[in-house]
């Protein structure tokens, strides 16, 4: 039953709208080029007129699935210049608050809904907790057991806002490990 | 009981079947999967619970997804088209890309089922249910403090975009955030808010608080929230009232953590390994469910 259904389903891809975000550009040309780049990379996106309060650049914006913000930014960077990515409602910037909890031999960094834990003596990542996006269990397998300085960056390998939060936790952990930030 | 969610395996197809434990791994439809953070930790805890209760093992619907949403879409679409014939008494949705339109369609499909399944959501599926405006129609959510802040924030479309003040105070203001979540339509009928204190909530009223044993290292361990949701799902399948299922699950998770004597580096599999003993020693007194 599953296999026959799967074949049919792959031919007729489901609707994909999630909570939406807008990529804002300086020029119409950049917006149109970005649409081509993202569609070629498999993203669902469409050109729209940004609402008046979000009209920072040109009169054309690209509507995307906001949860994929991390992957969209990575795909556009170096190819098309854009001013920023913003949710269609609510806070305009992702949360940037990290909380640090110290255990006897480990340090836990919380960033949004994500937590990263490393061994204070070795700098090895020992656990990742929290989050709900499907790239987080994948990033768990990639990061846990690796050294902070050698770990792949979630912003490079993940795709979602959970990955962005995890990247911020990793960044803070690196600061602590290098002695730049107080722990 | 049907548990649906993604697993971090590139290109793993959609699979469906009853889960079995083989050694340290779980086997579903010929695929062997480790008990790691996310859907498989949830499934492992649900399986440990059904084993103890003498119930049939959970049915699971899984697909590989490392963040592209490909496996998530397969799961949503399969459930939308087949939920009536699958006819689960309890449907638990877990790690999936939060896709609002597909969650709305799934909710519509579930509402046509007779009898309607008990609806449980955690992780990305909970984010999708809130963003789709169908949270009050779910029977139970299992958020952590940052996620209850998300459910309480009517504007937030993802926990990464909750208001800074809500996040900063979340851990100290959980009861207040619970009220906001219900007032704003972001909560399910029942909540289990997992944290230093586990709050069990029914229709906006806190009916139980579980604080002991306190094992702070548990917060570090990826998957220890997933295990709670897995147990809740299994106890709901055993026809316990949801608030009782939630209370027992929270207690069992803490007891398993204490027995494992964890460090922040402990794996969730080591916690789950303790569940059979915890159930044997405590479930009868906690719930009146006394198995041999």
The answer as to whether B233 is a domain residue is: yes
CATH number of residue A124's parent domain: 3.30.390
pLDDT computed for residue A57 by the predictor: 65
Least trusted range by pLDDT, from A62-71, A164-173, B13-22, B161-170? B161-170
pLDDT computed for residue A51 by the predictor: 72
Q: Are residues A117 and A64 in the same domain?
A: no
pLDDT computed for residue A97 by the predictor: 80
The answer as to whether A1 is a domain residue is: no
pLDDT computed for residue A169 by the predictor: 96
Is the CB of residue B67 less than 8 Å away from at least one CB of chain A?
A: yes
The answer as to whether B292 is a domain residue is: no
Is residue B142 predicted with pLDDT exceeding 90?
A: yes
Residue B172 makes CB contacts below 8 A (sequence gap 6+) with none
The answer as to whether B13 is a domain residue is: yes
The answer as to whether A138 is a domain residue is: yes
Question: In angstroms, rounded to a whole number, what is the distance separating the alpha carbons of residues A134 and A82?
Answer: 27
Q: Are residues A71 and A113 in the same domain?
A: no
When pLDDT is averaged across residues A77-104 and rounded to a whole number, the result is: 86
Q: Mind listing the pLDDT tens digit for each residue in B170-192?
A: 778 999 999 999 999 999 999 99
As a whole number, the mean pLDDT across chain B is 94
Is residue B228 predicted with pLDDT exceeding 90?
A: yes
Task: Pick A127's closest partner by Cβ from B38, B163, B265.
Answer: B265
* Residue with more model confidence, A54 or B62: B62
The answer as to whether A127 is a domain residue is: yes
The answer as to whether A7 is a domain residue is: no
Residue A87 makes CB contacts below 8 A (sequence gap 6+) with A19, A20, A21, A66, B157, B161
- Print the domain residue range for A129: 98-177
Within 8 A of A138 by CB-CB distance, chain B residues are: 8, 66-67
Class of residue A159 by CB neighbours under 10 A (exposed 0-12, middle 13-18, buried 19+): buried
The answer as to whether A169 is a domain residue is: yes
Q: Are residues A37 and A61 in the same domain?
A: yes
Residue pair A128/A144 in contact (Cβ under 8 Å)? The answer is yes
CATH number of residue B249's parent domain: 3.40.1190.20
Q: Mind listing the pLDDT tens digit for each residue in A7-20?
A: 444 333 333 334 78
The answer as to whether B215 is a domain residue is: yes
The answer as to whether A50 is a domain residue is: yes
When pLDDT is averaged across residues A44-66 and rounded to a whole number, the result is: 80
Task: Pick A161's closest partner by Cβ from B66, B105, B158.
Answer: B158
The answer as to whether A92 is a domain residue is: no
Q: Are residues A43 and A80 in the same domain?
A: yes
Is the CB of residue A145 less than 8 Å away from at least one CB of chain B?
A: no
The count of other CB atoms within 10 Å of the CB of residue B32 is: 11
Is residue B212 predicted with pLDDT exceeding 60?
A: yes
When pLDDT is averaged across residues B101-110 and rounded to a whole number, the result is: 95
What's phi and psi for B152, nearest 5 deg?
-80, -20
The answer as to whether B175 is a domain residue is: yes
Is residue B165 predicted with pLDDT exceeding 70?
A: yes
Within 8 A of B167 by CB-CB distance, chain A residues are: 95, 97, 112
Is residue A92 predicted with pLDDT exceeding 80?
A: no
When pLDDT is averaged across residues B198-226 and rounded to a whole number, the result is: 97
Q: What pLDDT band is residue B247 in, cutting at 50, 70 and 90?
A: very high
pLDDT computed for residue A7 by the predictor: 42
Beta carbons of B37 and A128 less than 8 Å apart: yes
Q: How many domains does chain A have?
A: 2
**Using alpha carbons only, what angle is made at residue B16 by residues A139 and B194, rounded to the nearest 5 degrees?**
50
% of chain B with per-residue pLDDT over 70: 100
B40 to chain A: nearest residue by CA?
A137
Question: At which of A45, A61, A87 does a domain end?
Answer: A87
When pLDDT is averaged across residues B114-136 and rounded to a whole number, the result is: 94
Q: What pLDDT band is residue A55 in, cutting at 50, 70 and 90?
A: low
Q: Are residues A60 and A27 in the same domain?
A: yes
Q: Are residues A170 and A104 in the same domain?
A: yes
- Print the domain residue range for B11: 2-287
Residue A124 makes CB contacts below 8 A (sequence gap 6+) with A118, A145, A146, A147, A148
Q: Mind listing the pLDDT tens digit for each residue in A103-138?
A: 999 999 999 889 999 999 999 999 999 999 999 999
The answer as to whether A11 is a domain residue is: no
């Amino acid at each position: 039953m599953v296999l026959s259904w799967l074949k049919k389903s792959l031919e007729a891809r489901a609707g994909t709208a999630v909570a939406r975000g807008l990529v804002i550009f300086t020029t119409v040309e950049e917006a149109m080029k970005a649409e081509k780049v993202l569609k070629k990379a498999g993203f669902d996106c469409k050109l729209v007129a940004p609402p008046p309060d979000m009209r920072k650049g040109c009169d054309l914006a690209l509507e995307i699935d906001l949860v994929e913000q991390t992957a969209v930014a990575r795909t556009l960077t170096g190819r098309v210049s854009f001013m920023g990515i913003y949710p269609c409602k609510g806070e305009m910037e992702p949360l940037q608050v990290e909380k640090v909890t110290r255990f006897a031999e480990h340090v836990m960094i919380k960033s949004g809904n994500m937590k990263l834990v490393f061994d204070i003596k070795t700098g090895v990542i020992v656990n990742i907790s929290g989050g709900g996006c499907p790239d987080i269990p994948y990033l768990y397998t990639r990061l846990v057991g690796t050294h902070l300085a050698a770990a792949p960056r979630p912003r490079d390998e993940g795709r979602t806002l959970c990955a962005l939060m995890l990247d911020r936790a990793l960044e803070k952990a690196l600061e602590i490990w290098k002695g730049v930030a107080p722990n | 009981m049907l548990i649906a969610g993604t697993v971090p395996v590139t290109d793993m197809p959609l699979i469906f079947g009853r889960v079995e434990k083989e050694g340290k791994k779980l086997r579903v439809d010929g695929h062997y999967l480790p008990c790691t953070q996310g859907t498989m930790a949830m499934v492992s805890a649900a399986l440990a619970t059904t084993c103890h209760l003498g119930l049939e093992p959970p049915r699971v619907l899984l697909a590989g997804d490392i963040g592209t949403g490909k496996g998530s879409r397969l799961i949503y679409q399969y459930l939308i088209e087949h939920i009536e014939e699958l006819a689960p008494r309890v449907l638990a949705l877990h790690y999936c890309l939060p896709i609002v339109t597909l969650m709305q369609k799934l909710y519509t499909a579930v509402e046509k089922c007779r009898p309607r399944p008990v609806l449980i959501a955690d992780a990305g599926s909970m984010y999708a249910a809130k963003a789709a405006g169908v949270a009050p129609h779910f029977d139970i959510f299992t958020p952590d403090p940052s996620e209850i802040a998300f459910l309480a924030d009517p504007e937030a479309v993802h926990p990464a975009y909750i208001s800074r003040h809500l996040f900063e105070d979340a851990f100290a203001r959980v009861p207040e955030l619970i009220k906001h979540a219900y007032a704003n339509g972001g909560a399910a009928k029942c909540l289990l808010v997992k944290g230093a204190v586990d709050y069990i909530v029914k229709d906006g009223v806190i009916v139980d608080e579980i604080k002991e044993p306190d094992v702070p290292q548990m917060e570090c361990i990826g998957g220890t929230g997933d295990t709670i949701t897995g147990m809740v799902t299994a106890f709901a399948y055993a026809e316990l009232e949801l608030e009782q299922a939630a209370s027992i699950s929270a207690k069992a998770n803490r007891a398993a953590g204490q027995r494992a004597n964890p460090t922040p580096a402990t794996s969730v599999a080591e916690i789950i390994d303790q569940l059979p003993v915890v159930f044997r020693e405590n479930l009868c007194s906690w719930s009146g469910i006394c198995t041999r």
